């Protein structure tokens, strides 16, 4: 995998690097970050050649956008953010994974006006004039409104030239496939469902995207931690991993070690082995983690490693 190769996203004119950086950790995911740390992280990623960055209003309830917009100003990089949640005072889609209080919480809103408002507020927090890609963010319980209201609003933004690509980002593959079938998407962001531990995205969604020219961005390649460092207490999809999953992750690591490949390298590069996958996102919270992601994405991986995992029943 050449992590710095720039490729077109689907049939759009938007380009992304094969490795992208997810900015959620810079919004205080699990532990606090800072403006200065975010600046150093983003600038170092850019210096190394990364040209795709992904953020969302949800990440730190606005903190990630506020922190990562300034170091991206004036840079020729591709940025994606998300719509479907508005940040407002009071209760809403509260999550206990954000370490820094902001006084606002996300509230789901997949109305057309909600999409336009969300995008405008994101640009204000970022201090930028536009984002290249907008993802519908987690519309799991709002499919009808997302299809009938939010998606047409995104298409209108694309037709006006205010964004370059329309996408949807989810932690499940089945509904993403339904969005692809509308014919309105340029791309999808699939989180955690095409990894060394979960290849369910490969059953239907990825072949569908390949047949329709829809770009696929894969995130959550470590399944929130288990594939980065499999140990008791490690998380899978943000909850403690059950013993069977931990045992499987340890077995995968053992095969990787036999072939001289770090588990993190295999976890990052596995999604890119599918021809439908355009870019792989890795969340990083520091310049050192960016360096590690680029290094792991550059490790040569012999084809025999994937064959060995399949032979041992560890890959579909």
What would the pLDDT profile of 134-173 be if each residue is shown by its tens digit? 999 999 999 999 999 999 999 999 999 999 999 999 999 9
User: Helices in the chain by DSSP H: which ranges?
Assistant: 35-48, 63-72, 112-126, 143-145, 151-159, 174-180, 205-212, 243-258, 263-269, 287-298, 303-311
- Can 194 be counted among the known catalytic residues? no
Q: Which pLDDT score, from 0 to 100, does residue 82 have?
A: 98
Question: Do the beta carbons of residue 290 and residue 299 sit within 8 Å?
Answer: no
Fold of the CATH domain 6-311: TIM Barrel (3.20.20)
* Tens-digit pLDDT profile for residues 279-297: 999 999 999 999 999 999 9
pLDDT band at 130 (very low <50, low <70, confident <90, very high): very high
**Set 46, 59, 119, 194: catalytic member:** 59
- For residue 283 the two structure tokens come to 């969340």
Q: Which pLDDT score, from 0 to 100, does residue 316 have?
A: 87
Question: Do the beta carbons of residue 253 and residue 222 sit within 8 Å?
Answer: no
Angle at 76 between CA 70 and CA 82, to 5 degrees: 60
Q: Which pLDDT score, from 0 to 100, does residue 94 have?
A: 74
In this prediction, residues 54-75 reach a mean pLDDT of: 98
* Tens-digit pLDDT profile for residues 39-58: 999 999 999 999 999 999 99
Report d(CA 139, CA 46) in Å as an integer.
31
Could you tell me the residue ranges of all domains in the chain? 6-311
Residues sharing a CB contact under 8 Å with residue 171, sequence separation 6 or more, in sequence order: 138, 191, 192, 193, 220, 237
């Amino acid at each position: 995998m050449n992590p710095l190769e720039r490729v077109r996203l689907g049939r759009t004119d938007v380009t992304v690097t094969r490795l992208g950086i997810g900015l959620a950790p810079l919004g205080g995911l699990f532990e606090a970050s800072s403006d200065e740390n975010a600046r150093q992280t983003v600038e170092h990623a850019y210096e190394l050649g990364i040209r795709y960055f992904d953020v969302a209003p949800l990440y730190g309830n606005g903190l990630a956008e506020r922190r990562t917009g300034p170091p991206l100003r004036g840079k020729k990089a591709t940025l994606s953010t998300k719509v479907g949640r508005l940040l407002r005072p009071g209760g809403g889609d509260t999550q206990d994974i954000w370490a820094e209080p902001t006084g606002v919480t996300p509230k789901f809103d997949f109305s057309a006006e909600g999409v336009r408002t969300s995008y405008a507020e994101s640009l204000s927090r970022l201090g930028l004039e536009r984002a290249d890609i907008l993802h519908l963010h987690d519309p799991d319980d709002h499919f009808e409104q997302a299809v009938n209201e939010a998606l047409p609003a995104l298409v209108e933004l694309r037709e006006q030239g205010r964004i370059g690509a329309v996408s949807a980002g989810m932690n499940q593959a089945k509904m993403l496939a339904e969005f692809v079938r509308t014919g309105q998407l340029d791309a999808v962001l699939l989180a955690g469902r095409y990894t060394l531990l979960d290849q369910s995205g490969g059953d239907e969604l990825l072949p569908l995207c390949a047949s329709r020219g829809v770009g696929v961005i894969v995130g959550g390649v470590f399944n929130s931690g288990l594939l980065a460092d499999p140990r008791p207490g490690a998380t899978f999809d943000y909850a403690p991993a059950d013993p069977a999953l931990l045992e499987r992750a340890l077995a995968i690591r053992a095969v990787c070690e036999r072939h001289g490949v770090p588990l993190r390298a295999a976890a990052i590069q596995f999604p890119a082995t599918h021809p439908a996958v355009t870019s792989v996102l890795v969340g990083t919270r520091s310049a050192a983690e960016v360096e590690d992601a680029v290094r792991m994405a550059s490790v040569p991986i012999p084809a025999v490693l994937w064959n060995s995992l399949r032979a041992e029943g560890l890959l579909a």
